Amino acid sequence: MNLLIDIGNTNLRWTGYGDGVSWSVQVVRHSGGVPLDLLAAWESHPAPARILVSNVGGEAVAGALCRVTRAYWGLEPEFIRTRAEQDGLRIAYADPARFGVDRWLTLIAAHAEARQATLILDAGTAATFDLLLADGRHLGGLILPGIEMMRTSLLAGTRIPRIESEPVGDPWAADTGTAVAAGSVQALAALADRLFDRLAVESGDTPRLLLTGGDAERLRPALDRPCVEIPDLVLRGLARLTGRSSAC
């Protein structure tokens, strides 16, 4: 049994993976450390053979994770690093170290599941877009503030009141607070539609749109193009690396 861990900017996702092990993804907010409910869950967890980690959440949470896994199981986590080429996937970045490991793992998972042109939208604290051709060539991508970051940055510089409810129905709004809430969603959805259409032209085929990340459910109703929501896409990419003697 392997332990797969995806440390994002806000949340930590994890699951066991291996023969006879059910795929059951758990999600906690990490706040730069290992939260108590996760410590409790792992205290009775069987010792894994390996611990594979995707970390974009920073050094503090990585250090805390190492202390916990050493104390519980005497194991060091394997922090995955981006590679220029992997299983037919070739990233566009000249320097692989500058390409987020979470984005790389979503590409690995997408390319393994289907050899098809694919647009991946990871809607989290930041929103990332990555374009992939059927032959495994990564065209590049875009990064924007996520839904909450967009709203927070605008409200911090204005006197507009914050509206907690989510916009429904029309993509426009009839009051200012709701217009901010709707605008953050519609901006990401409109860019997804634009990139989807450009990828269709670039690839000469109809691409897939894969939606992942903590805000995927909030964003999905605003998308005009057909999409498949896969909340655990980073973990699926980690699972593809478990058969290697060294995944780092």
What is the Cβ-side half-sphere exposure of residue 113, based on CA atoms within 13 angstroms?
A: 18
Residues with Cβ within 8 Å of residue 118, at least 6 apart in sequence: 110, 111, 131, 132, 207, 208, 209, 210
| Binding-site positions for ATP | 6-13, 125
| Binding-site positions for substrate | 93, 100-103, 176
Out of 102, 130, 215, 232, pick the active-site residue: 102
Query: Is 102 a catalytic site residue?
Result: yes
| Binding-site positions | 6-13, 93, 100-103, 122, 125, 176
Provide φ and ψ at 238, rounded to 5°: -60, -40
Is the Cβ–Cβ distance between 10 and 29 less than 8 Å? yes
60-47-105-63 Cα dihedral, nearest 10 degrees: 10
Residues marked active site are found at 102
